[in-house]
Structure 1
Amino acid sequence: MFEILQYDFIQNAILAGILISIAAGIIGSLVVVNKVTFLTGGIAHSAYGGIGIAIYLGIPVLFGATVFACITAILIAIITLKNKSRIDAIIGMMWASGMAIGIVFIDLSPGYNVDLMSYLFGSIIAVSNDDLIYMTLLDIFIIVIVLFFYKQILAVSYDSEFAGLRGINVKFFYTLILILSALCVVAAIKAVGLILVIALLTIPTYLAETFANKLSNMMIISSILATIFTLYGLVISYVYDISSGASIIMVSVVALAIVKLFKRS
């Protein structure tokens, strides 16, 4: 079994799994606490528009997806802050528009024959060195931002009205959380794909809530759990030759079920 570690693509996949899990644990905690899972789902699927545009223009896919996802996050933040009563319709529109834009531009790309399923359901064993650099920089950026603004993010996450009365710019930090979510979503595309990325952000955090009594602990525990699920899912994917993204999420779901059943009994 351990002989597979000699392959570069396996080493890259393991490193990518750890890097993505750190980001997913931190951002997933913010997503769950702020109750913006549906918003993040809209950003994730809208990122497909950036993938399509990047393929059409011949630029790096992650770069295109990042720019498009961040723009979408800012638009969603602006719109939902002004019109919270229609969040569901707005997210549905952004979700569908992003996917449609991506499909149109991919169809317009001449001679493109790469398997698009890897973007939808993940292919962590196809991670490149450039992808690892992107993930490393993303983790550093997320950790620095969260450490520097932890008190403000904590206040906005648990009581935005009180935070506003204390002089904290709620709109800025709400938008920042969505932008960080967009960056994390793009990084996780390689691991679990756009379809399953929300599960990676929420399941470890949902489990971490059982053991954590504050946000910082939740972030740490979520990152550890996400790492365990990702690496174990990667092993199952390799052994049984099945989709890495689906394997990772199934491991997460089984772990969640076991913990909940054990806790209930």
Structure 2
Amino acid sequence: MDFFRALYEYGFLQHAMAAAVLSGIVCGIIGTYIVARRMVFLSGGITHASFGGIGIAYYFGLNPILGALVFAVMSSLGIEWGARKGKIREDSAIGMVWSFGMAVGVIFVYLTPGYAPNLMSFLFGNILTVTTADIVALGCLVAVLLLLAFCFLRTVMYVAFDAQFARSRGVATGTVSYVMAVLVALAVVFCIRSVGIVLLISLLTVPAVIVNSFTKSFTRMAAWSSVVAVIGNIAGLYLSYVMDIPAGAATIFLLALTLIIIKLLPLRSRKTVAYSENPR
């Protein structure tokens, strides 16, 4: 009951709750596309590459989120362009951008005079530091994603599952891929404060994988992944309040534990059936 009383009394906790809901919706929708296209490694590459933009922004005294946004968008578009043009294999491009972004971020952070006090919050997240501007940005991204899903869901679904078939049907797969790459980058950057660079890849993929265990429908996956991500975020926020632990880590722990249980239950049921059919 103390948590709900604190939620009513403290503005920063209300901001955290709003961010938990909005980031859950964003990660649920974008995560479904990532899992369907088997782009989990790509999301990790963009997430970690954004650290380069944070380091550069710190060095020049700019907004770290703005730096991360520019770096993430450029990285996602660069990876997509390189893979489509055949200049470099996609996994190789992702690995290069991943390590390059982290290296650039570390170098510029160390070159920055003084101490970067908020650096750990970007790496591991701190949802309690979410500002009104962050919530507005997340809200705008949710609105854009819902609008695009309403208008172009079938087109995106074609590209996600079979790009060659979509191309044969006259779908501009290149345009769709580039737009989705930018949306993945935006989702990564806008959710960094909530979960952090290190853990964000899990929030983007684990809810979709959980839901994918029960349905193969792209539409249902997108809807229920958002629900699972929102519940996970709220449960993680509550657990962090009760146990005084980081909310991002608590969220990922609960979601990962749920996925493990879901994946192990069918195995146990199969063993039970096998034992009942072949008793000693």
Q: Provide structure 1 residue ranges, at least 5 long, that are not aligned to the other structure.
A: none
- Is 1:50 aligned to residue 47 of structure 2? no
- Residue of structure 1 in register with 2:211 after alignment: 208
**Conservation of the 8 A alpha-carbon contact between 2:109 and 2:116:** no
C-alpha separation in 2, matches of 1:27 and 1:155: 15
Q: Provide structure 2 residue ranges, at least 5 long, that are not aligned to the other structure.
A: 270-280
Q: Which of the numbers 256, 259, 263 marks the counterpart of 2:259?
A: 256
**Conservation of the 8 A alpha-carbon contact between 2:6 and 2:13:** yes
C-alpha separation in 2, matches of 1:112 and 1:142: 37
Other structure's SS at 1:149 match: helix
C-alpha separation in 1, matches of 2:237 and 2:201: 18
- Is 1:10 aligned to residue 24 of structure 2? no
**Percent identity (aligned):** 39
Mean alpha-carbon deviation: is it higher for 86-95 or for 126-135?
86-95
**Conservation of the 8 A alpha-carbon contact between 1:212 and 1:221:** no
- Residue of structure 1 in register with 2:135 after alignment: 132
Q: Deviations over 1:197-230 (max 9, x none)?
A: 1110111001111333411111110000001111
- Residue of structure 1 in register with 2:275 after alignment: none
CA-based RMSD? 1.5
C-alpha separation in 1, matches of 2:261 and 2:87: 36
C-alpha separation in 1, matches of 2:173 and 2:194: 32
Residue 128 of structure 1: how far off its partner (Å) = 0.9
- Is 1:19 aligned to residue 8 of structure 2? no
C-alpha separation in 2, matches of 1:230 and 1:112: 30
- Residue of structure 1 in register with 2:276 after alignment: none
User: Which letter maps to 1:24?
Assistant: C
TM-score (norm 1): 0.95
Q: Which of the numbers 185, 199, 209 marks the counterpart of 1:182?
A: 185
Count of matched residue positions in the alignment of Structure 1 and Structure 2: 265
- Is 1:242 aligned to residue 249 of structure 2? no
**Conservation of the 8 A alpha-carbon contact between 1:53 and 1:105:** yes
Q: Deviations over 1:55-87 (max 9, x none)?
A: 222222222211110111100000111238732
Q: Which of the numbers 144, 148, 161 marks the counterpart of 1:145?
A: 148
Other structure's SS at 2:191 match: helix
C-alpha separation in 2, matches of 1:19 and 1:177: 19
Residue 155 of structure 1: how far off its partner (Å) = 0.9
Other structure's SS at 1:211 match: coil
- Residue of structure 2 in register with 1:36 after alignment: 39
TM-score (norm 2): 0.90
**Conservation of the 8 A alpha-carbon contact between 2:58 and 2:116:** no
- Residue of structure 1 in register with 2:106 after alignment: 103
